[in-house]
Amino acid sequence: MGLHGRVRKKIVTALMSAFPTRDKLVMMLCYESIMDESGVTIGSEYENIVFQLVGELESQGKLIKLIQGANKENPGNCDLKYVNEKMTNC
């Protein structure tokens, strides 16, 4: 099925806002038992890393877990809260 482009962009933007570096993103992924560091791309532009991560976790059926885990780790981020509400209330 795949995410609509605008939805994917909102998710990527929210994750980048909530976790502004690859290291912070990896920490969240590990804390929430979503993925270990070896599964996250290295040496690419950060936006591309997050984009690829979203695609990979979507294909594994873990996108909602990603969004919920990210929101749990950074509940004060408005972009992430918005995406969490939209994705989990569908």
What does the pLDDT profile of the chain (90 residues) look like in tens digits?
467 889 999 999 999 999 999 999 999 999 999 999 998 989 889 999 999 999 999 999 999 999 999 999 999 999 999 998 888 775
Closest CA to 82 of 72, 71, 66, 69: 71
The model carries a pTM of 0.90
Q: Cα(40)–Cα(53) distance, rounded to whole angstroms?
A: 7
pLDDT score recorded for residue 2: 66
Q: Cα(9)–Cα(15) distance, rounded to whole angstroms?
A: 10
Count of CB atoms within 10 A of residue 19's CB?
A: 22
pLDDT score recorded for residue 31: 96
CA 22 to chain centre: 11
pLDDT score recorded for residue 1: 47
